[in-house]
Amino acid sequence: MSNATSNDRVAVNGVELYYEVRGEGEPLVMLHGGVNPSDMFGAPLAAMAKTHKVYAIHLRGHGLSSDAEANWSYEQMADDVDALLGEIGIDQIDVMGWSLGGGVALQMAIRHPERVGKLVVIGMNVKADGNFPEVQQQFDEMPAHAPTIAGYLEKSPLAGMYPDVNWEAMMRKTGLMNQGPYDWSDDVAAVTAPTLLVYADAEMMYPAHIAEIYGLFGGGTRDAGVDGALRPTPNRLAIIPGTTHYDVMLKETDVVTEFARAFLAE
């Protein structure tokens, strides 16, 4: 990232998390997807920093943050982010996350509801069998293939950007943390933070699961009426046409960030 107004590392839960601050306005945490923080912390961060003071956090084992020996979990990463925010004196803040970061954002709202104002979740499922079978198969096989995948990553530009990342450990731990069975449905249904859900129209999960998640947030239960006054929930759902799970934040950055800024401003 460039043009940051400040950056630092904070020791939490046995790791050091790196973060940068950019922009002015209402505070917002942005949480990246897996493997490559720069996907989220390029154009999407620049767009959100036009209206917000953005805290861009590198999750453990990613980017410029350190790692520990233990395997990863969404819950642990949410605890890490909560601890960092406490260390830098932020009591409550809006949270926006994509894919891996979306799962961490959800777990923050579940585990640390007092810390989360509004929530923007992009491209995240809430149970293993909500994903297409081929996606879960890739996660199941990823630990065994981690050395091979790491070999490619070590020869990519990412290795120069993030020289201290252990790519083999990253791929092994990414696979393990996404293996089933898991089901967050009951916890998600209890989330009280106003939430915007954003998905590609060609996601890594069944469309029915996207509708199911929106239902957990109270959506899709009745007609909202001509003026919208009968809308059953303050939560929102956006489906971005012509996109996939992997490119929705890159291909349609302006669309997604416009929806996010409008929602956060409500």
Q: Is residue 45 in some structural domain?
A: yes
Tell me the C-alpha distance between 82 and 90, whole Å: 9
User: Which two structure tokens, joined as six digits, stand for 233?
Assistant: 């929930």
Domain annotation covers residue 133: no
Residue 73 domain flag: yes
Q: What is the CATH number of the domain that holds 249?
A: 3.40.50.1820
Residue 89 lies in a domain: yes
208 is a domain residue: yes
Structure tokens given for 139 = 């996660």
Q: Do the domain assignments include residue 146?
A: no
What per-residue confidence (pLDDT) applies to 83? 98
Closest CA to 168 of 14, 35, 15: 35
Contact 29, 81 (CB under 8 A): yes
Question: Minimal CA–CA distance to 109: which of 88, 92, 122?
Answer: 92
- Number of domains present in the structure of the chain: 1
Tell me which DSSP letter residue 17 carries.
E
What are the helix (H) ranges across the chain? 43-48, 74-87, 100-111, 133-154, 157-161, 167-177, 185-189, 207-216, 248-251, 253-265
Domain of residue 16 covers 6-128+185-265
- The answer to whether residue 254 is domain-embedded is yes
Tokens of 220: 């899709």
Residue 224 forms part of a structural domain: yes
Mean pLDDT per 10-residue interval, the chain, length 266 residues: 80 98 97 97 96 98 98 98 98 98 98 98 98 97 98 96 97 96 97 98 98 98 96 96 98 97 97
Question: Residue 158's pLDDT is what?
Answer: 96
pLDDT at 2: 53
